[in-house]
Amino acid sequence: MTLRLKQIQVMLGVSLITIFSLNLPAPAADTAKPGDNHTEATTKAEKSGQTEQIDSAARSETSEGEGEATAEADEVKSRPIRDKWALVIGISNFKEKSIPKLKYSTKDANDFYRYLINEANFRKDHVRILLDEDATQRRILEEIGDNFLARVTEPDDLVVIFISSHGSPSQLDALKKANYLIAYDSDPKALFSSGIEMQKVNAILKDRVRSERVLLVLDACHSGNVNVNNNAKGIYRVGNFDAQALAQGSGQMVICSSAPDEQSWESKRYENGVFTRKLLENLRKHGPATPLSEAVKGSVFETNQEVKQDYPGMRQNPQVHSAWEGEDLVLAVRPIDPKPIPATIFKELEPDSSPENLRKRRHDQFVYGYKPVTGDAPQNLVLTRQYFSDVEDPESAYTAACEAQAAHFNEPDFYYRKALVQIQLKKYSGAMQTLKGVIVDNPNKYEYYLARGYCFHKMGQKGLAASDIRTAQFKNPLLPKNITFGD
C-alpha cells in the first residue's frame, strides 16, 4: 500500500495524506450513530491513529527520497575528472589595420598553452592553440562547437578555454547590446557578423559541449582608449566583461582579467599581460595541488599592485564567478581516464598554431618560398622574433647551437641557426655579426637577409633594414611584396 501511495504521489504531485483521505471508506451506519459518544470517540481515535501512521510513513519516505536526491547530487559534484581538454587563443595582430596591435597576447597564449601541457597534466593532443591569422571567427567557433570540443568532451571532463585579445563593449551593438571578442578577421564596424559574440559562445558551451565543468579565462578588455595609452587592451573606453553575467549564462566558471569598469593592462616589466603572468605565477606557487580559487586570489592582489604602481590612478581587479557547486577546482589535477584523441577526429582538424606546426610552416616557407601548393601567394609577411625562433628553452638551444657551429665550422647554415636563437634572446648585435659572416660565405640565401634586416630594424637602422628586405625579395621573387616588422 505504501508503494502504491508513493507511486500515486509521484504521478499526481500531491501529498500522501490527501490521497489517503480521498480513499478512506465511509463509516458504516450501524457503527457510528449520531449521539453515540463512545462509538464516535472510538472511531475518531482509530482514524487519528491511522492518519498519524500514514503521516509518519509519508515523512519517512519523503525524508528518504530527499536523502537519496542529496546523495546523488553530492555524488555528481564530487565525481573525479575523467579527461581534460583545452582551447587557447591569442591575437596580437589583426587583419583590419584600424584595430591596434597588442604586444603580448600571443605570448600570453603560448605561455598558458605550455603551462597546461607541461605542468597541468593536459595531454598535448588535448590542447589546441590558435594564434593571430589562425584565430579567425570561423576557426574559433568551429573548434568550440563543431570540430573539436563538441566532438571529444564527456560530462565528467574538464574543458578550459583561454582567450587573450581585444574586446568590444555592448554599447557598440545598439540593437542587441551584446559583448564581442575581436577575432583576427573581425571588423569593428560589423561586429555582429564578424566578431565572437560572448552570449553565443555561452550557448555553444551549454548546448553543444557536453562537459559539466567548463572554465573560461578572458584576458580581454574593451576599455582604454588606445589613443591615450597603448598598453591598455581595448578599442573604446567603456568597461570589461561582466564575469558574473557570463557565468550565469553558461552555468560554468568565468575568470575576467579586470572588473567591468576597469582596464586590462600589458606589463611594462615583462612580455605578458599583467593578469596572465600573475595567474600563472600563482598557479605554480604551491605546486600542482594549488586550488584555482587560491591562485586567483593571489593574482588579484598582485595584478592590482603592479597596475597601481606602473599606471598611476589605474586599478585592475580580476574577477571570478562560478555557477559550479562542489569541491574547488585544481587545474593541474590528474584525470582518471585520459584517452588519445580519436584518429578519425584528429585527421579532420586543421593545423593549429602549436610550436611544431609553426616551425613546419617556417621550414616550408624557407624551402618552397611563399608559394603554397595551391592558391595564390600571400600578399603580406610580418617579421617578428617568434617568426625566426620560438624554442621553449632558448638558453639551452643557444648552447647547443654554439656547440653545433664549432663542430661544423665550415657550414654557414649552422651559424645561421645560432643567429636565429640569438634573435629570440634579443642579442641583435651578436646575431648581426653572425649573419654578416654567413652572407659573405653564401650571399644567395634570401633568409639570411630577412634575419639581418630584422636585426637592423631592432637596432634602429631603418635604411639598412629596408635594404636587406629588398635584397631578400630580389633573391627570392616569390616573397610577398609587402614585408613589414611586427615588433
pLDDT at 171: 47
Question: Which range has the worst mean pLDDT, 26-35, 161-170, 382-391?
Answer: 26-35
Average pLDDT of the segment spanning 206-220: 87
Q: Is 421 exposed, middle or buried (0-12, 13-18, 19+ CB in 10 A)?
A: buried
Question: Which range has the worst mean pLDDT, 85-94, 225-234, 407-416?
Answer: 225-234
CATH of the domain at 336: 3.40.50.1460
Lookup: cell for 375: 592558391
Whether residues 269 and 142 fall in one domain = yes
Maximum separation of any 2 CA atoms in the chain, in Å: 127
Cβ atoms 275, 299 nearer than 8 A: yes
- Strands (E) in 113-205, as ranges, are 127-131, 158-168, 180-181, 196-197
Among 46-55, 61-70, 177-186, 366-375, name the most confident range: 177-186
E strand or H helix that includes residue 319: strand 319-322
Rounded to the nearest angstrom, the gap between the alpha carbon of residue 70 and the centroid of all alpha carbons in its chain is 32
pLDDT at 23: 36
Lookup: cell for 410: 665550415
E strand or H helix that includes residue 232: strand 232-233
Whether residues 227 and 269 fall in one domain = yes
Whether residues 255 and 181 fall in one domain = yes
pLDDT band at 133 (very low <50, low <70, confident <90, very high): very high
Question: Which range has the worst mean pLDDT, 66-70, 272-276, 340-344?
Answer: 66-70
Average pLDDT of the segment spanning 124-149: 95
E strand or H helix that includes residue 53: helix 37-78
Rounded to the nearest angstrom, the gap between the alpha carbon of residue 450 and the centroid of all alpha carbons in its chain is 34
Average pLDDT of the segment spanning 346-356: 90
CATH of the domain at 425: 1.25.40.10
The boundaries of the domain holding residue 98 are: 81-346
Whether residues 182 and 311 fall in one domain = yes
- Residues pairing with 485 in the sheet: 383
pLDDT tens by residue, 314-326: 988 888 877 776 6
Kind of pairing, strands 180-181 and 158-168? antiparallel
**DSSP helix, strand, coil percent of the chain (3-state; round to 5):** 50, 10, 40
- Residues pairing with 87 in the sheet: 128, 161
Rounded to the nearest angstrom, the gap between the alpha carbon of residue 149 and the centroid of all alpha carbons in its chain is 12
From 77, 102, 127, the end of a domain falls on 77
Radius of gyration of the chain from its Cα atoms, rounded to whole angstroms = 32
pLDDT at 365: 60
Cβ atoms 165, 179 nearer than 8 A: no
Whether residues 445 and 381 fall in one domain = yes
Whether residues 32 and 70 fall in one domain = yes
Average pLDDT of the segment spanning 380-406: 88
Percentage of the chain surpassing pLDDT 90? 40
pLDDT band at 89 (very low <50, low <70, confident <90, very high): very high
CA distance 288 to 119: 7
* Location of C-alpha cell 596580437: 92
185 HSE (CA, 13 A, CB side): 11
Q: Which residues of 51-64 are buried (b: 16+ CB within 10 A; e: fewer)?
A: eeebeebbeebeee
Whether residues 278 and 326 fall in one domain = yes
Whether residues 281 and 162 fall in one domain = yes
Give, rounded to a whole angstrom, the gap between the first and last alpha carbons of the chain.
80
* Location of C-alpha cell 568590444: 168
User: Residue 267 carries which side chain, given as an amino acid letter?
Assistant: S
* Location of C-alpha cell 646575431: 431
Q: How many domains does the chain have?
A: 3
Whether residues 267 and 239 fall in one domain = yes
- Give the residue among 331, 281, 324 at the shortest CA–CA distance from 301: 281
- Strands (E) in 79-133, as ranges, are 84-90, 127-131
Average pLDDT of the segment spanning 358-376: 56
Tell me phi and psi for residue 450, to 5 degrees: -60, -45
pLDDT at 60: 54
From 298, 321, 346, the end of a domain falls on 346
From 317, 346, 375, the end of a domain falls on 346
pLDDT band at 77 (very low <50, low <70, confident <90, very high): low
